[in-house]
Chain A
Amino acid sequence: MPPKLPNVEVRQLSSSSETTTPVVDLEREQMLEAIKLSLGDALVDSHLKPGDDLWIRVSPDSWLGSVQKLRDQHSFDYFGFLSAIDWMPSPYGRGEDDPTEPAPVRDMTIRSGYAGGDTRMQVFIRLVNSKTHFGITVKVDVADSAPSVESLITIFAGANWHERETHEMFGIDFVGHNDLRNMYLPVDFEGHPLRKDFPLLARMVKPWPGIIDVEPLPGGDEEDSAQSKNSDAS
């Protein structure tokens, strides 16, 4: 459900009077054209939000080479971060199910975000051009069985810790990184906490109190509280 749009005092970020952001973002479009030319088939998909940001998705085989090209040919020389997303909706929802009720039916279809995706999990990095300050988000699919992707430590030394963190949190293997020790978790920790099918134990052992104390807000009008119940149910 789209949010109820407020009546006044709302301006779209892209058409704000103070910023002169054009609806057509020529600089980013040119950047994308240049990237398309140099990456060729390695570029699977792209998404451009004018005045905001640029997303591209590269093929898994060309991950290392594509990032190398982005750094060397397009001057994306600043390493922002590396992480992953698990696109599978959580089977536990937001951990607010009433344990006395039968488990609710959830839509478990996997939908990817910007620039698409064919797999459950994706690795993504954020690179920035340190001169023009334009940033880019680069995504890559990782296979569902034995998720692995090439390591970037030979291109960006800073990827080292980020890959270790992603390895322990998502169970994604980084080929070429020979020191994938746990960054945060104990050595004998089992499971990969940021995967969506890893339950948040605190919510499992004790039901979330939010499901019990649903009271109308003090001074809140009837219409709003009725609305909140409806939107919770939807």
Chain B
Amino acid sequence: MTMLGDRQQLSYIASQAADARLNLELETEGMTLNIGPQHPATHGTLRIIARLDGEQVVWAEPACGYMHRGYEKLTEVRTFPQVTTLVNRIDWLGSFANEVPFILAAEKLMGVEAPTRAQYIRTILFELSRIANVSLFLGDLGVQLGAITPVFLAFRDREYVLNLIESATGGRFHPNFDRIGGLKDDLPAGWIDETRAVMKKLRGFCDQIEDLLFGNEIFQSRTRGIGVIPRDVALQYGLSGANLRASGVDWDLRRDQNLPMVWNKADWKVWTHPDGDSFARCWVRLQETRESTKIVDQLLGAIPSGPVMAKVPKIIKVPEGEAWVSTENPLGEMGYYVVSRGDLGPFRVKIRSASFNNISITPWLLRGVYVPDIVTILASLYFILGDIDR
């Protein structure tokens, strides 16, 4: 396993040597291809510098930092309730899911637990943000591989989910709805029936995408066997979420962790894929979206009555201690290491975002691939720039 570190170093040497070697043998020149920071295939401002030998990548590396906002520093001058506003903007497509692990960490330090009703609504909103996030991925995937239609379907159907999130929380993208000890508000009237109808639509959307995209021969030939990540490598790089499960690791933090959330109250399945290629990663995400709609459906029927907020003091001081809580967010494992000094605000918050680990494998993964496959691999790894740069 120590070879990996060496391999990375060798790739740098190889890139340096590329010019000389190519000139001697083939009378060709190496070329540096710069993708981004503004490029449709990069979901924001990721810049990729690739050293090419003809059509093949000799060495490639993402350049991060075009969107670094310094959230870890900013949390140190905020109070605990204020931090949720910041972390909302890390993964902006699934904002509610970002708030949950931080709130859970603060609750763990305080020894507070949200009432059961709040736990149900939290879990439902968590899954809704996953559906909103991943359905956009499924549509965007098509665009990146040259198919335009899926993205229109995705934007249409994601809108239904965003409307639901908006009617419950007041915010389409940044709900800021989670509170230490529960939720800001209860659900609006009629929301449950509406959600049921939308979940049905979303399952239809998944079927449509499966037919249109995953059954498409061109799509399959462009993704099968491209960007294969073996199990060991995935674990070493700390990949998480669908990227890890597509490499055959049966690990879902929603199932394998004891958190005050209610995923275990629903009957659902963790999908894995043995291949570890781009197709597997996309396929696992599609299945997960479907499972999420099932989770939401089952939980909607089981929401107990009661308060949505535990009794917590108005001025929240979190007792001294350290806590680590991570959840299975749309992009993968999102966690917060919160250190409190018994003050109004945290002493230090380490934000472990999924995309940072997921994208750190790209220098290893992109070596030797062809130029069009760069886009396939990046699309299938699925990252959000705010989640890399924080």
Q: Chain A: residues with CB nearer than 8 A to chain B? A: 1-4, 6-13, 16, 19, 21, 51-53, 55, 77-81, 83, 85-86, 89-90, 94-96, 113-114, 124, 126, 130, 133, 135, 137, 153-158, 160-162, 169, 178-179, 182-185, 193-194, 196, 198, 200, 203, 208, 220, 224, 227-228, 231
Stretch of B85-93, B107-115, B272-280, B376-384 contacting A (4+ beta carbons < 8 Å): B107-115
Given A9-B310, A11-B113, 12 extra CB contacts under 8 A: A3-B313, A3-B316, A9-B307, A10-B311, A53-B324, A78-B235, A83-B337, A113-B339, A158-B360, A161-B360, A196-B76, A200-B76
Could you give 28 example pairs across A and B, Cβ below 8 Å?
A3-B312, A6-B112, A8-B311, A9-B310, A10-B310, A12-B111, A53-B323, A77-B236, A80-B352, A81-B238, A81-B335, A83-B337, A86-B348, A89-B341, A96-B77, A133-B257, A156-B237, A157-B236, A157-B237, A160-B5, A160-B360, A184-B65, A196-B76, A200-B73, A200-B74, A227-B315, A228-B315, A231-B315
A3 closest partner in B (C-beta): B317
B contact residues around A185 at 8 Å (CB): 65, 68
Q: Could you tell me the distance in whole angstroms from the C-beta of B248 to the nearest C-beta in chain A? A: 11
The CB with the most chain A CB atoms within 10 A, among B257, B316, B324, is that of B324
Complex Cα distance, B319 from A3, in Å, reads 7
When distances are taken between beta carbons in the complex, the residues of chain A under 8 Å from B1 are: 155
B357, A81: Cβ atoms closer than 8 Å: yes
Chain A residues positioned under 8 Å from B310 (CB to CB): 6, 9-10
Pick from A3, A9, A77, A85: contact of B235, CB under 8 Å: A77
Cβ of B364 and Cβ of A157 under 8 Å apart?
Answer: yes
Complex: A9 Cα to B314 Cα, angstroms: 16
Q: Is the C-beta of B268 less than 8 angstroms from some C-beta in chain A?
A: no
Q: In chain B, residues 15-57, which have Cβ atoms closer than 8 Å to a Cβ of chain A? A: none
On whether A183 and B65 interact (CB within 8 A), knowing A6-B311, A79-B235, A158-B361, the answer reads yes
* With A79-B238, A94-B76 as contacts: A55 and B322 at CB distance below 8 Å: yes
Contact B333 A2 (CB under 8 A): no
Q: Is the CB of A83 within 8 A of B350?
A: yes
**Is B70 among interface residues, defined by CB-CB distance under 8 A?**
yes
Interface residues of B in 298-356 (CB under 8 A from A): 307, 310-319, 321-324, 326, 333, 335, 337, 339, 341-342, 344-345, 348, 350, 352, 356
Q: Is the pair B77, A113 in contact by a Cβ cutoff of 8 Å?
A: no
Whether the Cβ atoms of B64 and A183 lie closer than 8 Å is: yes
Interface of B is mostly: loop
Determine the main DSSP class of A at the interface with B.
loop
Using CB atoms, name the residue of chain B closest to A86. Answer: B348
The complex places the Cα of A53 from the Cα of B389 at a distance, in Å, of 28
User: Which residues does chain B contribute within 8 Å of A8, judged by CB atoms?
Assistant: 311
Question: Smallest CB–CB gap between B229 and chain A, Å?
Answer: 12
What distance in Å separates the Cβ of B11 from its nearest Cβ neighbour in chain A? Answer: 11
> Is B113's CB under 8 angstroms from A133's CB?
no
Q: Is the CB of B77 within 8 A of A95?
A: yes
Pairwise interchain contact A80-B339, C-beta atoms closer than 8 A: no
Cβ-defined contact, B235 with A200, below 8 A: no
- Checking A155, A156, A184 against B64 with a beta-carbon cut-off of 8 angstroms, the contacting residue is A184
A230 CB to closest chain B CB (Å) equals 9
Instruction: Report B83 CB to chain A, min CB distance, Å.
Output: 12
Known contacts A7-B311, A157-B364; decide if A21 and B258 are in contact (CB<8 Å): yes
Contact A80-B73, Cβ < 8 Å, known A19-B258, A126-B352, A227-B315: no
**Bound complex: CA of A30 vs CA of B115, how far in Å?**
33
Shortest CB distance A214–B (Å): 13
B251 interface hit (Cβ, 8 Å) = yes
- In whole angstroms, what is the CA distance A155 to B368 when docked? 24
Q: Which residues of A contact B124 (CB under 8 A)?
A: none
**A200 CB contacts on chain B under 8 angstroms:** 73-74, 76-77
Q: Smallest Cβ distance from A89 to chain B, in angstroms?
A: 8
> How long is the Cα–Cα vector from A178 to B10 in the complex, in angstroms?
12
Is there contact, CB below 8 Å, between A13 and B111?
A: yes
* Bound Cα distance from A13 to B271, whole angstroms: 30
In the bound complex, what is the Cα–Cα distance between A12 and B315 (angstroms)?
Answer: 20
